[in-house]
Amino acid sequence: MIAADTIRLPIPLIFSATLFSAGVYGVLARRNAVLVLMSVELMLNAVNVNLVAFSAHLKDKLFTGQIFALFVITVAAAEVGIGLAIVILIYRNREMINVDEVNLLKW
């Protein structure tokens, strides 16, 4: 018998795998830089779901999974801020944000 306070681990893992797969598809298939950044965010959120699910499943008393998830959220916020700033600068210079056509950072 499963206690009421425990979670079934496969449910969040399947959800996380679906989210991560959608993010990978978005990174590989999209050409718009903003959509690529959103897909990266989906992949990071899938990692957060895994961290919290395993922490809850293992009954971690130190809440290590939740703490790592907070660090991932912090890094993701910084990544979005810097990424959107770069996208805006590229759009001002080139008036397009397609990833395939941007070669500003090449040598």
Residues 1-43: tens digit of each pLDDT:
555 556 689 999 999 999 999 999 999 998 888 899 999 999 9
Contacts 24+ apart (CB under 8 A), 24-31: 30/99, 31/98, 31/99, 31/100
Is residue 19 assigned to a domain? Answer: yes
Q: Does some domain include residue 27?
A: yes
Domain count, the chain: 1
- Give the CATH number for residue 50: 1.10.287.3510
**Model pTM score:** 0.83
Enclosing domain of residue 86: 10-94
Is 52 within the bounds of a domain? yes
